Structure 1
Amino acid sequence: MEAMLRTTKKLHSLTLIAAALAFVFTACSDDTTGPDGEEEFQLETHTVENLDTGYGGRTAPNDTAYYSLRENNRIEKSDSASTQWDIAFSGTTIYINSGSSGPGDGGAIVLDQSFDATVIAPSEGYAIDTTATSLAIPTGSDNGWYHYTGDEGTPPHTIIPLENTTLIVRTADGERYAKMKIISWYRGNPDLSNEDFNTEDHPSGHYTFEYAIQLNGSRELN
């Protein structure tokens, strides 16, 4: 009888331990997986260097570089009519796969705050490309992502990314969000305050940018 009692107590203790472990495992799973078993937090951060747009200056025609933020790779121009790309660069102009620029459900917002301070994408207010001159990310100096120094600036005739400006992009599938910071428009990300800076050594139209994308569809970006 005493041996049976010990066995019963031992089995009861093992049952309680198993139940406790199952509870802990379930609680941990609830924190990291969604209703379909996918991870809740899938934030990826990438730095793209020297993305060449084929920019030829004021008198030469511009080419366009199409890019997938979801896949972190360049998309062939032959696929420009698809939803494979999310954002495209031509000279200083940035297109979003939406409206007049592509068949996607993309959109964008220009935020006057730093990349690091941007922790969540807005839930509404996304603009789309409606015409060649009315774009989600406005063109022109101090309108979108850059400042043009002009004749009297330092250095003269130079494109300088605006500080504390973050681009929020809704991807072409309409389901994911990314934040982006343009770092440089010149190959090699040169120091623009250096008096030796010149566009022969550092050709223009080569984007360097950082972005963070939330692949699970949520708007959390930090």
Structure 2
Amino acid sequence: MKRILYSILIALLSTACVKYEALPFTGKVLPRRSGYINNVTNDWIYYNLRTGEIFNAYQVNADIIEGNQKNRLDWDLAFCGNKLRTNSGTSGNGHGGAADMGFQGYDRWTSVSQLPHDLQWVVDTDNVSITMSQREWISYTVAHNITGIPWFDPNKGPQQTKTNANPLLNKALVFSGPPPSYTPSFHTYIIRTADGLRYFKLQIVSWYDESIEIGDTGGRISFYCDELK
């Protein structure tokens, strides 16, 4: 009897010592941090979802200078800090846009045939708030003879300005603070490509690189993005 109890105890202890590893992140991660942290307000990373090509992947404005994206149809989705663009409206002359499919449910959407015929598409506008870079704020204050207003206010955070971006996707990763915090909505969004012919589902997962366990400073957003067939 003692031998049986001893065997049961060893089995229980062995089970308690099992380490369950988290499943590896299988989505995408931005190649670098973008936005005001690089001393440029409109520091956008552009994705051509149809080909997989990335513009400005490792250097600010290396491939597409701010403003030049308007007349280009070779990009579909762009990131700058926690702001996102589609090739539509004031951001681009394409037939892009975004639609909200609600909380979670990413795996549910697999086919274009599932999309409702009356789906509400949101195009980009020129009145989305974005954090202004400290360098550009200083240049602005000098040019307009503004004094006594710092770039960073401890009660309000850094200075803001307006940019071209998608107002619906502005809710995908919401900033609050100080102290700074970025909270994903975990909604699934549908992105229509610049040619208006293909559709990709998108879900923002984290402000941080989910493939790094310790030491990530944030800004390399983790997200899922897959084409609807």
TM range (shorter): 0.5 to 0.7
Change (3 A) 1:139 1:69: closer
| Gapped regions of structure 2 (runs ≥ 5) | 1-25, 56-62, 129-163
What is the CA–CA distance in structure 2 between the aligned matches of 1:69 and 1:51, rounded to whole Å? Answer: 15
Question: Are 1:176 and 2:228 an aligned pair?
Answer: no
Displacement after TM superposition at 1:85 (Å)? 0.3
| Gapped regions of structure 1 (runs ≥ 5) | 1-45, 192-196, 215-219
SS of the aligned residue for 1:204 comes to coil
Change (3 A) 1:189 1:145: farther
The percentage of aligned residue pairs carrying the same residue is 28
- 1:202 counterpart (212, 216, 220): 216
Change (3 A) 1:190 1:157: farther
In the alignment of these two chains, the number of paired residues is 154
- 2:50 counterpart (66, 70, 84): 70
Question: Are 1:116 and 2:107 an aligned pair?
Answer: yes
* Mapping for residues 1-222 of structure 1, pairs under 5 Å: 47-57=27-37, 61-75=41-55, 76-77=63-64, 80=69, 81-114=71-104, 115-119=106-110, 120-123=114-117, 124-133=119-128, 135-138=165-168, 144-151=171-178, 156-163=179-186, 165-188=187-210, 201-214=215-228
Displacement after TM superposition at 1:166 (Å)? 0.6
Displacement after TM superposition at 1:116 (Å)? 1.5
Displacement after TM superposition at 1:59 (Å)? 7.4
* Larger Rg belongs to: 1
SS of the aligned residue for 1:116 comes to helix
Are the aligned partners of 1:86 and 1:171 in contact in 2 as well (CA < 8 Å)? Answer: yes
Superimposed CA distance per residue, residues 127-155 of structure 1 (whole angstroms, 9 cap, x where no aligned partner): 11132428544366xxx11243534xxxx
Superimposed CA distance per residue, residues 65-116 of structure 1 (whole angstroms, 9 cap, x where no aligned partner): 0111111220331562311000111111101101100110001112223212
